Amino acid sequence: MRIGIIGAMDVEVELLRVRLFDQEVTSAVGMDFYEGRLGEKDVVVVKCGIGKVNAGVCAQALVDRFHVTHLINTGIAGSLDPEGLDVGDLVVATDCVQHDFSLAPLGYAPGLIPGRERVEFVADARMREVALSTAAAVAPEVRAVAGRVASGDQFISAEEDRARILSMFGATCCEMEGAAIAQVATLNGVPFAVVRAISDKPGAEGQTITYAQFEQAAAHHCAQIVAHMVASL
């Protein structure tokens, strides 16, 4: 087993990088890949940068160049269910969709990529259960739920965008990388998990301030849970 762990920003992967033993760094496709051991597991930790293209390139590089057998995406997200999901809560993906992909004028359902029968990319059930049980064990004060993750190349802040994504896709949270990683993993037959800590609530008053305040805390909390999750895989 070799696990690739992807975060979009330094704050999302730094806690994991500093825990690596026997660390080696390889630069490829404009990214630094940190190979090493996290506990007893071989891992590759990498900051992919923000957005779906960066995430997809990174995931494919992990498969092709570093021969990972599993992929985990860690980081932060915005709540699409402001009443049921608060800042600091954790979402583990059941599946992922691309909320900004549309060929509706050609008769395709929102988010449906030609050649596929389903809009969603389904996450690995065992990895999801391990993530949820790990969160319950190491951070019992955190509410951890399974739900759909919606990704797009947009920072969602307006209420109308939040409502649209929730209505069209029934997603629990939104971010900018998970579905691209999910698509690459699915195409390559690699099991994947997306684990996201809620850092903000799009549409809520002052949510930009909330994001700035909680970004680092949420990202580090998520990485802490992922570190313990890896040990149980």
| Catalytic sites, residue numbers | 12, 200
Helix-helix angle 178-188:52-64, to 10 degrees = 30
Write out the E strands in the chain.
Answer: 2-7, 21-28, 31-38, 41-47, 70-79, 90-98, 121-122, 144-151, 173-175, 192-200
**φ and ψ at residue 86, rounded to 5 degrees:** -110, 170
Could you tell me which of 42, 10, 6 has the C-alpha nearest to residue 181? 6
